[in-house]
């Protein structure tokens, strides 16, 4: 999922020794095996910080290994003793011969696992989320005080609607750590240099403080940007309360504001110290806002090629962004449908909601990929918009994806999404299928 090198320690040891672990155990005894294992862990950890390494359950018995692990991100794959026993009872693992002994060993190792773990996870999706600093858990808003890293003071930033809905719970959860509360205008109006500047003036945090952005993508984009520049960068935490935020905007460290020349033209890459996703907060979200997020969720499903839920979509975006934090390579795949969407939005003078533009853009991308559009039409019901086709085309060309007579855009191939080059005429034709002819009543 992270496109990183993977090393399974047991497999490596078996390969190097030329025999299975149980044989190695039988020949050298447990202490002999542990010595070999300790050296193998050290060698694997030395291959660099980007590898994903799976350790055997007993590897952390070595004090040297524990000391080495302190420098790395350690995820404890938590599994209850019954499940663990069910998995290994028929294996030939040397320490899984008697159930009683196995359970005793499990109990004995628990405190070690607990003390070493930077995060706990039960599946691959959770590991990816943990590595990205994402906590995805119902009720996590009420644990905000412990989820904001460190112990320093917190400045809470939210728009008035969100403060009305969740302000009291956030205040309570932050308790004594809460230093100040800052109210933003709702929506895109928050993403201006004026609002950022006012916030910089109001803040009285030192570098040990943390900004918490509670709200939709507008709030988290602005909060992250303010945090990126304040005192040359303080940590921030995103608590997304919209579907757009929970599957997209709060993840990946892109922060920013709008200027007169366009949306998101000023900003910074500033990865949040934590993203706290509590899906129960979406219960109050108006249907119109939910649809915005659905478009990004469907986009992510198309990219992943599977039926992801919101948590899976958050993990998918986290993985892509961890792989390419500065948007120079694979992260660009997240632009699926967006070349068309940006053209239509600009031509509509930004009156067209982003999600509706993305739904149309995805339709065009599927058509150009020769894919069936039935599912997309059922889920998002994209409807052609009335905009000036020439204006939409010019805006699409300005969207930085142009190379001569052809246009770069993300399409879906047999092996997944890729950046394709298509003739300008073909792209323009696809764009025009998204545009409605002005109706007679309007024209009159």
Ligand X SMILES: NC(=O)c1ccc[n+]([C@@H]2O[C@H](COP(=O)([O-])OP(=O)(O)OC[C@H]3O[C@@H](n4cnc5c(N)ncnc54)[C@H](O)[C@@H]3O)[C@@H](O)[C@H]2O)c1
- In the block, tokens 């109006």 appear at 189
Residue 408 binding ligand X, by CB under 6 A:
no
Q: Which of 215, 235, 337, 361 binds ligand X (CB under 6 A)?
A: 215
Stretch of 56-64, 96-104, 155-163, 340-348 contacting ligand X, by CB under 6 A:
155-163
Least distance to ligand X, CB of residue 161, Å: 3
Q: Which of 252, 272, 312, 343 binds ligand X (CB under 6 A)?
A: 252
Q: Which of 9, 55, 165, 212 binds ligand X (CB under 6 A)?
A: 165
Least distance to ligand X, CB of residue 35, Å: 48
Among 423, 380, 224, residue whose Cα is nearest residue 294:
380
Report CA 319 to chain centroid distance, whole Å: 6
Least distance to ligand X, CB of residue 253, Å: 8
Least distance to ligand X, CB of residue 224, Å: 7
Residue 186 binding ligand X, by CB under 6 A:
yes
Whichever of 117 and 281 has its CB closer to ligand X, that residue is 281
Stretch of 130-138, 249-257, 305-313, 389-397 contacting ligand X, by CB under 6 A:
249-257
- In the block, tokens 């080495």 appear at 68
Q: Which of 126, 242, 318, 408 binds ligand X (CB under 6 A)?
A: 242
Least distance to ligand X, CB of residue 245, Å: 5
Least distance to ligand X, CB of residue 280, Å: 10
Q: Which residues lie across from 156 on neighbouring strands?
A: 181, 212
Residue 399 binding ligand X, by CB under 6 A:
no
Residue 359 binding ligand X, by CB under 6 A:
no
Among 321, 317, 314, 320, residue whose Cα is nearest residue 282:
314
What does the DSSP assignment read for 52-117? EEEPPTTGGGSHHHHHHHTTS--EEE---HHHHHHHHTTS--TT-S-HHHHHHHHHHHHHHHHHH-
Residue 324 binding ligand X, by CB under 6 A:
no
Least distance to ligand X, CB of residue 28, Å: 52
Residue 217 binding ligand X, by CB under 6 A:
yes
Stretch of 169-177, 244-252, 324-332, 364-372 contacting ligand X, by CB under 6 A:
244-252
Q: Which of 125, 210, 292, 369 binds ligand X (CB under 6 A)?
A: 292
Q: Which of 10, 37, 221, 345 binds ligand X (CB under 6 A)?
A: 221
Residue 281 binding ligand X, by CB under 6 A:
yes
Residue 162 binding ligand X, by CB under 6 A:
yes
Q: Tokens in use for 32?
A: 């002999």
- Compute the Cα dihedral for 399, 400, 402, 404 and give only its sign: positive
Least distance to ligand X, CB of residue 252, Å: 5
For the chain, give the number of residues: 444
Residue 361 binding ligand X, by CB under 6 A:
no
Which spans in 230-269 are helix H? 243-244
What does the DSSP assignment read for 318-360? HHHHHHSTTSSSGGGGGGTTHHHHHHHHHHTTT-S-HHHHHHH
Least distance to ligand X, CB of residue 315, Å: 15
Q: Tokens in use for 292?
A: 């915005």
Q: Which of 34, 177, 191, 338 binds ligand X (CB under 6 A)?
A: 191
Residue 289 binding ligand X, by CB under 6 A:
yes
Residue 335 binding ligand X, by CB under 6 A:
no
Least distance to ligand X, CB of residue 284, Å: 4
Residue 187 binding ligand X, by CB under 6 A:
yes
Give whole-number Cα distances, 357 to 207, 290, 345, 392, 435, in Å.
40, 14, 6, 12, 11
Q: Which of 65, 126, 241, 408 binds ligand X (CB under 6 A)?
A: 241
Give whole-number Cα distances, 185 to 165, 263, 272, in Å.
15, 17, 22
Dmax of the chain from CA atoms?
92
Q: How many whole angstroms separate alpha carbon 189 and alpha carbon 238?
A: 19
Among 383, 374, 247, residue whose Cα is nearest residue 318:
247
Q: How many whole angstroms separate alpha carbon 406 and alpha carbon 427?
A: 9
Residue 32 binding ligand X, by CB under 6 A:
no
- In the block, tokens 């202490």 appear at 31
Residue 182 binding ligand X, by CB under 6 A:
no
Residue 254 binding ligand X, by CB under 6 A:
yes
Phi, psi of 133 (to 5 degrees): 80, 20
Interacting residue ranges for ligand X, rule: CB under 6 A = 159, 161-162, 165, 186-188, 191, 215-219, 221, 241-242, 244-245, 248-249, 252, 254, 263-264, 281-282, 284-285, 289, 292
């Amino acid at each position: 999922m992270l496109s990183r090198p993977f090393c399974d320690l047991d497999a490596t040891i078996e390969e190097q020794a030329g025999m299975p672990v149980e044989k190695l155990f039988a020949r050298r005894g447990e202490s002999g095996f542990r010595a070999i294992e300790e050296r193998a862990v050290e060698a694997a950890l030395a291959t660099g910080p980007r590898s994903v390494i799976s350790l055997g359950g007993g590897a952390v018995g070595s004090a040297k290994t524990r000391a080495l692990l302190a420098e790395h991100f350690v995820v404890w794959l938590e599994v209850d003793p019954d499940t663990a026993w069910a998995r290994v009872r028929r294996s030939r693992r040397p320490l899984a011969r008697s159930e009683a002994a196995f359970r005793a060993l499990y109990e004995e190792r628990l405190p070690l696992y607990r003390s070493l773990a930077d995060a706990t996870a039960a599946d691959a999706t959770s590991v990816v989320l943990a590595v990205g600093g994402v906590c995805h858990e119902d009720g996590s808003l009420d644990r905000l005080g412990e989820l904001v890293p460190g112990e320093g003071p917190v400045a809470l930033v939210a728009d008035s609607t969100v403060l009305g809905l969740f302000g009291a719970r956030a205040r309570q959860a932050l308790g004594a750590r809460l230093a100040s509360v800052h109210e933003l205008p709702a929506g895109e109006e928050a993403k201006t240099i004026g609002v950022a500047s006012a916030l910089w003036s109001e803040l009285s945090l030192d570098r040990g403080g943390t900004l918490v952005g509670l709200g939709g993508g507008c709030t988290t984009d602005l909060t992250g940007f303010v945090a990126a520049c304040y005192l040359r960068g303080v940590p921030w935490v995103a608590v997304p309360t919209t579907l757009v935020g929970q599957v997209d905007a709060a993840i990946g460290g892109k922060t920013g504001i709008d200027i007169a020349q366009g949306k998101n033209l000023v900003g910074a890459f500033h990865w949040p110290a934590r993203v706290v996703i509590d899906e129960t907060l979406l219960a109050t979200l108006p249907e119109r806002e939910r649809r915005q997020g659905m478009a990004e969720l469907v986009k992510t499903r198309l990219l992943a090629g599977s039926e992801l839920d919101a948590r899976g979509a958050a993990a998918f975006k986290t993985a892509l962004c961890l792989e390419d934090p500065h948007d120079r390579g694979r992260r660009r795949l997240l632009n699926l449908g967006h070349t068309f969407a940006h053209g239509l939005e600009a031509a509509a003078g930004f009156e067209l909601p982003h999600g509706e533009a993305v739904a149309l853009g995805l339709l065009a991308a599927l058509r150009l990929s020769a894919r069936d559009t039935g599912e997309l039409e059922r889920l998002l019901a994209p409807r052609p918009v009335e905009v000036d086709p020439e204006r939409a085309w010019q805006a699409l060309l300005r969207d930085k994806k142009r190379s001569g007579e052809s246009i770069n855009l993300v399409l879906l191939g047999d092996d997944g999404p890729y950046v394709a080059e298509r003739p300008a005429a073909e792209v323009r034709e696809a764009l025009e299928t998204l545009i409605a002819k002005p109706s007679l009543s309007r024209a009159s």
